[in-house]
Structure 1
Amino acid sequence: MTQPTGGQTEDKLMGGRVVLRQPADGFRAAIDPVLLAASVPATVRDSVLDIGTGTGAAALCLARRVPGIRVTGLELQRDLVRIAGENAALNELEATVAFVFGDILNPPPRLAPSGFDHVIANPPYLEAGTATLPENEARRAAVGEGAADLKAWVRFALSMVRPKGTVTFIHRADRIDGLLTELHGRAGEIVVFPLWPAIGKPAKRVLVRARRDIATPTRLAPGLILHAADGKFTAEAEAVLRDGWGLVL
């Protein structure tokens, strides 16, 4: 990480394969978007929508990992849309990654329903009215639900993906019941992939992937152990976070 310049820092993801400028204050991307990007079964010429893209971390990691795909990032905060666009240019990915301003409750017309092969999202993880939100406005908008609750996020994702396409969320493990409830009857082949902080510790995050208009039963995957006993990332986590490997859900 470099020192802030103009209120921003310059960070590196995927072992330096992605350079990410982001506000020094406010919400900052860490490993969640890298793990989210690694979970998408995208192939060449697929189209992907990243909902709540922020400064573009997941979108850029996915585009770097799978050359030849097209990624669109949707973001509600205009200043983050601008930074995300600058990040696309900084990584020379502006030809395949585009960022647009918009609200999932009133999406821009250019986003056609059923228009994407895959949809990914890292929604705000604090349910409205259940926690004290940060004072910083940008961080508050990123971590706390506003007018769009988890139900709205799931239904928008399903509306934007093509039939049999995938939707993938990374979220808090204690909100998995809400995710599964909203997916029930609308998607199948659901995979719950826990992200274990270390052996013997409960998962705090989960990846949940589903396919629209599929009836295959839900499956619980072994998941990924992130840290070894010494606190360092496990070799498996390093392969994803540093080397750009995909996750097999």
Structure 2
Amino acid sequence: MEQPTVTHDDFLGGQLRLTQPRHGFRAGIDAVLLAAACPAKAGESVLELGCGVGTALLCVGRRVEGLDLTGIEVQADYAALARANAATNGIDATIVTADLTALPADLRQRQFHHVIMNPPYYERASSTPAQDSGRDRALAGAQMSDWIGMGARRLRPKGSLTLIQRITRLPEVLAAATGQIGSISVLPLAARAGRAPDLFLMRGIKGGRAAFRLLAPRVLHHGDRHQQTADYAPEIEMVLRHGGALHWDSIPADM
């Protein structure tokens, strides 16, 4: 019997059920962590560049009610899944099929309170076939400066830009952000205590003037080695299983 081309996966402990391709680019905890780091409040607007099947955008929408949600996705099949996922989960979101370097005129005139993004992790020149999924190929024409530049232009004054990326691309991200956003803070993400971070979250403010901040690494898992499937640190467990927000500056004492 031929396998279905899509899977139906639970996120946020079952608060979201998302359809995504069985093969190629598939959303994981990165998108959930990105959503948890977005400081959106009820009544505000959120734009996701490269929204895929809508995972991060819909996670934000599930955590915070009353948001104006918009996602941009270049691949029509992913955009269609994002629309279907929004409808299935009862979340009002506008999904636009467009290249982030050539947005429709109406979107180019809008400004948002928050922009979130998860650019392809691998540079086109250094990608291997296993890393370079169909979606990465579709997005690979845009440089990091395109992603951050477009995000900054779509922000209203004092709006926030939040992204997740591999730690090896931190210099490139900071260079692209120079002159575009300010008050930049970087939160490294380490799999376990004592290990070098593999990923980082970055948040910046349009027009912000605060000094750059490098925060202490956030540890995702308990212990120095894998023990069981759900060995996440308490805060990360709250984010992944219960849809909680990621505390940006420090972990509360009761976690």
Q: 1:37 aligns with which of 28, 35, 38?
A: 35
> Which residue of 66, 71, 74 corresponds with 1:73?
71
**Kindly tell me: are residues 38 and 189 of structure 1, through their superposed partners in 2, closer, same or farther at Cα, counting changes over 3 Å?**
same
Give the match's secondary structure for 2:119.
coil
Is residue 52–residue 123 contact of structure 1 (8 Å, CA) maintained in 2?
A: yes
Which ranges in structure 2 are unaligned for 5 or more consecutive residues?
Answer: 249-255
How do 1:157-168 residues align onto structure 2 when only pairs under 5 Å count?
Answer: 157-168=151-162
RMSD between aligned alpha carbons?
Answer: 1.7
Q: Output the CA distance in 2 between the equivalents of 1:116 and 1:13.
A: 26
Q: CA deviation at 1:222?
A: 2.1
Q: State the identity as a percent.
A: 36
- Structure 2 CA distance, aligned partners of 1:203 and 1:15? 25
Contact 1:133/1:140, CA 8 A, preserved across alignment:
no
Task: Say if 2:116 is the partner of 1:120.
Answer: yes
Cα 1:145–1:75, aligned 2, differ >3 Å: closer, same or farther?
A: closer
TM-score, L = length of structure 1: 0.92
Tell me the TM-score normalized by structure 2. 0.90
208-217 or 179-188: bigger deviation:
179-188
1:218 to 206, 212, 220: 212
Q: Which runs of 5+ in 1 are unaligned?
A: none
CA contact (8 A) 1:133 1:144 kept: no
Mapped to 1, the partners of 2:86 and 2:155 lie a distance apart of 23
The aligned amino acid for 1:75 is E
Judge conservation of contact 1:192–1:207 (CA < 8 Å) in 2: yes
Q: Which residue of 1 aligns with 2:195?
A: 201
Inter-partner Cα distance in structure 2 for 1:113 and 1:176 = 30
| Deviation larger for 46-55 or 103-112 | 103-112
How far apart in 2 are the matches of 1:168 and 1:135?
23
Q: Which residue of 2 aligns with 1:151?
A: 145
Q: CA deviation at 1:187?
A: 1.5
Alignment length (residue pairs):
242
Report which stretch shifted further, 212-221 or 71-80: 212-221
Contact 1:126 1:145 (8 Å CA) reproduced: no
Structure 2 matches for 1:6-85, cutoff 5 A? Answer: 6-85=4-83
Is the contact made by 2:48 and 2:115 (CA closer than 8 Å) also made in structure 1?
Answer: yes
Q: Aligned partners of 2:83, 2:180: CA distance in 1, in Å?
A: 33
Shift of 1:133: 3.0
Quote how far apart the aligned CAs of 1:147 are.
1.6
